[in-house]
A = this chain, B = another copy of it.
Amino acid sequence: MLTNRQLQILQVIVDDFIVSAQPVGSRQISKKQGITFSPATIRNEMADLEELGFLEKTHTSSGRVPSEKGYRFYVDHLLSPQGINSKDIQQIQSIFNDRLVEVEHIIRKSANILSELTSYTSILLGPDVQRHRVKRFSIVPLSSDTAVAIIVTNNGHVENRMFNLPPDFTASDLEKMVNILNDRLIGVSLEDLHKSLEAEVLAVLQQHIRSADDFIHALVTATMHNSESKIFYGGKTNMFNQPEFHDLNKVRMILDLMETTSQVQSLFHPNEAGIHIRIGSENKQLEMENCSVITTTYSIGDDQQGAIAIIGPTRMDYKRVVALLDVMRLDLTQAFTKNRSE
């Protein structure tokens, strides 16, 4: 158990290091407001805190730097909730000024503003398309052997995919087919779509249409992929500002990671509510060793979720980012639920 004084010193060190990016020394700490004890005392306490694993030295005679464990403790116990600036709030509100109808635009703008306000990199996941429900199914033939299948979902999202038509497929076949698909599939969520296709629709189609097998097969493969939620980035190069990323290799690894959808997805917690913080190696990715990721989710309508992540150095301004994400999450949720009930 840490003493009050130790808590106070740890807090000062983390707070100071977050803004200065320099190891913090005992003399420096002693000059801070609220510190009533001498550098020597502080040195003793720091030695203890280091032994306990909360602090580290960069070399024998350097000041102290928070360890991952130190950040973790700071985040868990020393993070007083902070109000945010009215100017910041105004800027966030500006996202919703434009009466944008489309979810995509709002999210894109949010990503940019978040990265501006934090000066870190933001990643926003759009609604989980998998959970949208089919509103309308249509097929538009392009030539004798290709067609586009189009699915419109209840939220106005449109999926489309080209596929090959079986050779002896007539226009009336197509019409029958579309009718059957619309009869059976409306209301089915995209994630259940190919299950439903195979389970319910296949049999019916086989009765009515020649070469339904081929067709369904083409359709199933077409609907199976390509339904990840879209990813929006803000301030991709913001990390160049941080002194810890003056190393080209680190930056490169992180930028490469952000190009890989699966890696980006794994930054997010699977749909848990609230704000989550992962510090340094708590991220499974090697590339993120020196990064912290703060994530949260927002709601779109009743049953859908999007997610937000902020990526910065472990020396991140946790207090501010948490506060901003909290506002952002609520505002987005509000905007999207209002939007739908209108």
Residues of chain B within 8 A (CB-CB) of A340 are: 143
* Interchain nearest-CB distance for A138 vs B (Å): 7
Selected from B135, B249, B255, the residue in CB contact (under 8 A) with A142 is: B135
Verify if A27 is at the interface (C-beta below 8 Å from B): no
User: A125-153: which residues lie under 8 A (CB-CB) from chain B?
Assistant: 135-136, 138, 140, 142-143, 145-146, 148, 150, 152
- Distance of A122 from chain B, by nearest CB (Å): 13
CB–CB B163/A140 < 8 A = no
Task: Give the size of the chain A interface in residues (CB under 8 angstroms).
Answer: 35
Instruction: Determine the chain B residues whose CB is within 8 A of the CB of A19 once the complex forms.
Output: none
Given contacts A101-B164, A236-B255, A259-B236, contact A154 B135 (CB under 8 A): no
Cβ B138 vs Cβ A156 within 8 A: no
Number of copies: 2
* Contact call A101/B140, Cβ cutoff below 8 A: no
- Complex formed: what's the CA distance from A249 to B252 in Å? 14
Give bound CA distance, A62 to B64, whole Å: 45
Whether, in the assembled complex, A228 has its beta carbon less than 8 Å from a beta carbon of chain B, the answer is no
Q: Are A101 and B142 in contact (CB under 8 A)?
A: no
* Interface 0/1 of A310-342, CB less than 8 Å to B: 000000000000000000000000000000101
In Å, the complex CA distance between A162 and B154 comes to 12
Contact of A248 among B142, B146, B236, B240 (CB under 8 A): B240
A342 to B162, CA, bound (A): 14
The interface bits of chain A over 179-197 (1 if a CB of B lies within 8 angstroms of the residue's CB, else 0) are: 0000000000000000000
A130 to chain B, nearest CB (A): 18
From B143, B156, B158, B252, contact of A158 by CB (8 A): B158
| Sample of 10 A–B contacts (CB below 8 Å) | A101-B163, A135-B140, A142-B155, A142-B156, A143-B340, A143-B342, A145-B342, A148-B156, A150-B150, A150-B158
- Give chain A's interface residues, CB within 8 Å of chain B: 101-102, 135-136, 138, 140, 142-143, 145-146, 148, 150, 152, 154-156, 158, 160-164, 236-237, 240, 246, 248-249, 251-252, 255-256, 259, 340, 342
